[in-house]
Structure 1
Amino acid sequence: MATTTKQAYTPLNEQTVIELSQELDLFSDYSSLEVNEIGDGNLNLVFRLVEPATKKSVIIKQALPYAKVVGESWPLTLDRARIESDSLKKFAEFSPEHVPEILYTNNELAVTVMEDLSSHVILRKGLIDGVTYPSLAQHIGTFIAKNLFYTSDFYLHPFEKKRLVQQFTNPELCKITEDLVFTDPFYDIETNDYPAELQDAVSELWNDATLRNKATRLKLKFLTHAEALLHGDLHSGSIFVTEESTKIIDSEFAYYGPQGFDIAHFFANIAMNHIAQRAHIKDKEKRAEYQLYLSGLIRDTWNTFTDTYKGLWRNEGVELATKLPGFEDEVLESIFTDMVGFAGCEVIRRTIGLAHVADLDSIADFDEQILLKKKALKLGRDWVKNKQRIKNIEEFITSIRSV
C-alpha cells in the first residue's frame, strides 16, 4: 500500500476520500468507485468505498474536531483517531479475530482505513429485533478477559505497563465520560435530555444524596485506577455481529482504567434491551424466551470472562501476586462489584443523559416508553447504591428480571 504526503487536516468528502484512496492505491479501478458516507455516530465521518467489478471494499474513518451531536461549539481532540487505531492494533495482539483489520492510519489527517464489516450488523439493532447470537457470550467474555489480563500489572513488566499508560492517556475523551456518565445525570445540568413526563423520577434521583455519593466514588475509581487498557465505550452499538463472528469497533475512548468498566457497559446495554423487550416483543411467550436468552448471554459472558481470566492468571501470570492462594478470587470479586456500580451509572446516563439508546427511545407507545424508562432508572439507582449487596452473577441477573 502506498503512503500519503504530509497534509494539513481537512474534513473529507466523497470526492477527497476517493483521492485519498488513489494515493493509497487501495483499488485497481477508480472510474466507477462507489462511495457512501455511512456514519451514524456522534464523533466521526465514516465512508464505505466499493469497487463494483471486484466487490473489494474498505472503510475510511476520519475523526471530526467536534461532536456532531452538538456541533462546532463542542471541540474535540483529533488525537482520538490515534487512540482508536493504536488500541485496535493492541487488541489485535490478543484477539485478532474480534477487531477489524487496520490497513492504514494517518494521525495528521485523523484517518484510519480498516476492514469493511458490512457483512455484519450492529449488535444493538439485532437485539432490538430479537435476534440471538450463539457465539457472542464466548467472544465478548474472552475478548475482555484477554485485553484486561495482558495489559495489566499481573502480566506486563512494570516499565512496559507504564509506557502503555502514557501511550493511551486520553484526557479529552475521558472527560466526556467523567461528565456524561458520572456527573451530569446526577445533577440539574443542561446536557441532560429527557421528557417532562420523567421529571418526578429525575428529581427524586437528583435529591438522593446517597446515590450521588456512590456515583462520585465510582467516578473517583474511574479517575484513579489505571488497572488495564479498556475499550472505554463497549456498548452494543460498538459491536458488529453475525451468528459466527463478533467484531469490536469504535475504541476512541480507550484508556487505562478499572477492570470492571468495559464489561459493565456491555451488561448495562443488555439489561436495557431486556427491559425494552416488553415493548418490542408483544407475544408473551416469545418475549419470555428472548429475555431468558438475554439473561443467559449475561451469565455466559461473565462465566467465560472469569474462566478465561483465571486460566491466564494461573498459566501466564508474572507478578508475584498471581502466586498468592486465593488472590485471583479477590481480584475478580472486586471487578464484579465495580461492574455492578459502573453498569448502574451507564443505565442512568443512557436514560436521562446525553446520547440515549434506541432500545428504549424507539418504543412507539410513548406512555410505555416512559414506564420502561422509569424501570431502567430504578434498576440503575439500585445498582449504584447497592453494588456490594449483589454478590454474584445470578443475583445480578435476578435484579434485571425483577425490575
Structure 2
Amino acid sequence: MSIRQIEAYEPLTLLSVVSFVKEKGLIPKESRVHCEEIGDGNLNLVFRLVDQSTNQTLIVKQALPYAKVVGESWPLTLDRARIESEALQEAEKLVPNLVPKVYDIDYTFAATVLEDLSDHVILRKGLIEGKQYPHLANDIGTYLAYTLFSTSDAALSPQEKKKRVVQFTNPELCQITEDLVFTDPFFKSETNNYPQELQPEVSELWEDSALKLEVAKLKQKFLTNAEALLHGDLHTGSVFVKEDSTKVIDPEFAFYGPRGFDIGAFFANIILNYIAQEKRIADLGKREEFQAYLLEVIEETWQVFKNTFTALWQESAVEKFADVEGYVNYVLAVTFEDTIGFAGCKVIRRTIGLAHVEDLDGIANLDAQLEAKRAALKTGRSLILNRQNITNVKELVELVRSANS
C-alpha cells in the first residue's frame, strides 16, 4: 500500500518516509534514497533524505501527537504542524533568504518537506564554541522587523488581521510557554529543574513579591496582546547559521502575541551565552573580545530592527493613525520595554525551569556552573525589574555587562 492511500495519521519510519516523498514527486520513484532520523527534540520526528543518484537532499519534519520526553501521557495537538508550516510560508513571502524553503505540506500526516540546511550549524553550538557570525545581527534584526510589522494591524486591515489571529491560534503550545516561562519558575513546581545548591537563590526569587508582580504583568501581555504573528520560540537553537547565511527554523509555537516576545527570546539566549562564556573561555583577552561581540549582536539587532521597522511603517502602514507624529516611536518604546522584560523571564526560565540551555549546563566544573547560574538569575531579575527605566539599547547592554562584572 502506498503511503498516499493511508487516510489516517501515523508516525513515519525510515522506510515509509521514502515512499512519502516519492509519492509526492519530490524524489523520482526509481531513485535509491539514503534516509536517517536526525531529530533531537521532544515534539517531532525529523528525517534527512538523500537521492543517491543526484545528491538532492530533503528534510521531512513530522509532528508527534505527544512529547517524546514524557510519552503518550503528554498528548499534543498535530495542528501545530500546520501552524508551523504556514508560519514559515508567511515568513518566506517576507524574508525568503532568512527561512528554509517549504516544498510541501501534508496535513494528514502533520508533516512538512523542507530545504536541507546541513551546510549550516545551530547557532547555539557555534556560539558555545566561540564563533562569530558577521551577518547574524543584521539578519535577525531584518527578520524581526519584517515579520513583526507585516503581520500587524499597522500593515493589515483589521478584518484580515483578525482572520490571521484565528488561523494561528495555538492554545496548547501557548500553554507550554505560559506555564514554563511565566508561571512555574516563579513558584514551587514539579516542572522546575535546578541543582539543590541553588535553593537559597530560588527560594529568594519565589518570595520576591515585587518581581512576581512584574512577571504577572508580562504574562498578562503574553496572554492578551495579539500584536503580530510571532515565531514563538526564537532561541539560538531555532537559528541555523554559517558565515554568510542565517535561517530561522521551527516556528511551531507561532501565534499572535506581543512583538517584544520574539526579540526578548533572542536577546535572552545571547545573554545566557554571554554569562556562560565567563566560565567557558579561560583566556581573558579572548573572553572579553567574544563577550563584546555578543553585546554588539544585541545592540545591532535592535538598531536594525528599529530602523527597518520604522522604514516599513513609513512606506507601508495602512493604519489611519500611522502618520501621527510620535506614534511609531511609542510603538517601538513599548516593544523595547516588553523585550527587556520577556528576556528576563526567559533567562530565569532557562536557568531553573524545565528546559535548560547547553550554554550553562555544559560548563564542566560544577562550582563554575553554579556561579554562572546565580549570575543568570541575578541578570534575569534585574531585566524584569528595571525594564521601565532602560530607554535605549546601550543602557540594556550596560545592564547586562554590569550584572556580570
TM-score range, shorter chain: over 0.9
Q: Tell me if the contact between 1:350 and 1:357 (Cα under 8 Å) persists in the aligned partners.
A: yes
CA–CA distance in structure 2, aligned partners of residues 9 and 119 of structure 1: 31
Q: Which amino acid aligns with 1:320?
A: K
Shift of 1:4: 3.3
Q: Which amino acid aligns with 2:302?
A: W
The reply to whether residue 211 of structure 1 matches residue 238 of structure 2 is no
Deviates more, 1:169-178 or 1:68-77: 68-77
Q: Look up the SS of the partner of 1:42 in the other structure.
A: coil
CA–CA distance in structure 2, aligned partners of residues 299 and 132 of structure 1: 15
CA–CA distance in structure 1, aligned partners of residues 80 and 197 of structure 2: 37
Residue of structure 2 in register with 1:90 after alignment: 90
Shift of 1:23: 1.3
Residue of structure 1 in register with 2:53 after alignment: 53
Q: Which amino acid aligns with 1:323?
A: D
Q: Look up the SS of the partner of 2:90 in the other structure.
A: helix
Shift of 1:346: 0.3
Q: Tell me if the contact between 2:322 and 2:328 (Cα under 8 Å) persists in the aligned partners.
A: yes
Residue of structure 2 in register with 1:155 after alignment: 155
The reply to whether residue 352 of structure 1 matches residue 358 of structure 2 is no
Q: Which amino acid aligns with 1:145?
A: A
CA–CA distance in structure 2, aligned partners of residues 4 and 393 of structure 1: 52
Q: Which amino acid aligns with 2:81?
A: A
Shift of 1:50: 0.7
Q: Tell me if the contact between 2:22 and 2:29 (Cα under 8 Å) persists in the aligned partners.
A: no
Unaligned runs of 5+ in 2: none
Residue of structure 2 in register with 1:254 after alignment: 254
Deviates more, 1:388-397 or 1:173-182: 388-397
Q: Which amino acid aligns with 1:239?
A: V
Shift of 1:242: 0.8
Q: Look up the SS of the partner of 2:237 in the other structure.
A: coil
CA–CA distance in structure 2, aligned partners of residues 111 and 313 of structure 1: 35
- 1:195-206 to 2 correspondence within 5 Å? 195-206=195-206
CA–CA distance in structure 1, aligned partners of residues 108 and 198 of structure 2: 44
Shift of 1:251: 0.3
Aligned residues: 402
Deviates more, 1:386-395 or 1:250-259: 386-395
Q: Tell me if the contact between 1:3 and 1:24 (Cα under 8 Å) persists in the aligned partners.
A: no
CA–CA distance in structure 2, aligned partners of residues 129 and 310 of structure 1: 35
Residue of structure 1 in register with 2:24 after alignment: 24
Provide closer, same or farther for how the CA distance between residues 211 and 356 of structure 1 changes in structure 2, counting only shifts above 3 A. same
Deviates more, 1:3-12 or 1:257-266: 3-12
Residue of structure 2 in register with 1:286 after alignment: 286
Residue of structure 1 in register with 2:315 after alignment: 315
Q: Which amino acid aligns with 1:338?
A: D
Residue of structure 2 in register with 1:74 after alignment: 74
Q: Which amino acid aligns with 1:125?
A: K
Residue of structure 1 in register with 2:304 after alignment: 304
Q: Look up the SS of the partner of 1:169 in the other structure.
A: coil
Shift of 1:30: 5.5
CA–CA distance in structure 2, aligned partners of residues 31 and 149 of structure 1: 43
Q: Look up the SS of the partner of 1:266 in the other structure.
A: helix
Q: Tell me if the contact between 2:31 and 2:51 (Cα under 8 Å) persists in the aligned partners.
A: no
Shift of 1:13: 1.3
CA–CA distance in structure 2, aligned partners of residues 221 and 334 of structure 1: 11
CA–CA distance in structure 1, aligned partners of residues 45 and 113 of structure 2: 12
Q: Look up the SS of the partner of 1:390 in the other structure.
A: coil
CA–CA distance in structure 2, aligned partners of residues 333 and 94 of structure 1: 24
Q: Look up the SS of the partner of 2:223 in the other structure.
A: helix
Deviations 1:68-100 (A, max 9, x none): 222222111000000000000011111011111
Deviations 1:5-38 (A, max 9, x none): 4521111111111121221222236664111111
Residue of structure 2 in register with 1:134 after alignment: 134
CA–CA distance in structure 2, aligned partners of residues 244 and 159 of structure 1: 39
CA–CA distance in structure 2, aligned partners of residues 219 and 183 of structure 1: 8
TM-score by length of 1: 0.98
Shift of 1:399: 1.3
CA–CA distance in structure 2, aligned partners of residues 7 and 241 of structure 1: 38
Deviations 1:238-269 (A, max 9, x none): 00011111111100000000011101000000
CA–CA distance in structure 2, aligned partners of residues 349 and 169 of structure 1: 24
Q: Which amino acid aligns with 1:176?
A: I
Residue of structure 2 in register with 1:382 after alignment: 382
RMSD of aligned residue pairs (Cα, Å) = 1.3
Deviations 1:144-170 (A, max 9, x none): 001111111111111111110110011
CA–CA distance in structure 1, aligned partners of residues 323 and 114 of structure 2: 40
CA–CA distance in structure 1, aligned partners of residues 324 and 68 of structure 2: 49
Provide closer, same or farther for how the CA distance between residues 313 and 3 of structure 1 changes in structure 2, counting only shifts above 3 A. farther
Deviations 1:329-372 (A, max 9, x none): 11100000000100000000000001100100111111100110
Shift of 1:106: 1.1
Q: Tell me if the contact between 1:139 and 1:246 (Cα under 8 Å) persists in the aligned partners.
A: yes
Residue of structure 1 in register with 2:13 after alignment: 13
TM-score by length of 2: 0.97
Q: Which amino acid aligns with 1:41?
A: G
Residue of structure 2 in register with 1:232 after alignment: 232
Deviates more, 1:386-395 or 1:188-197: 386-395
CA–CA distance in structure 1, aligned partners of residues 200 and 71 of structure 2: 30
Deviates more, 1:183-192 or 1:21-30: 21-30
Q: Look up the SS of the partner of 2:50 in the other structure.
A: strand
Q: Tell me if the contact between 2:63 and 2:78 (Cα under 8 Å) persists in the aligned partners.
A: yes
Deviates more, 1:379-388 or 1:368-377: 379-388
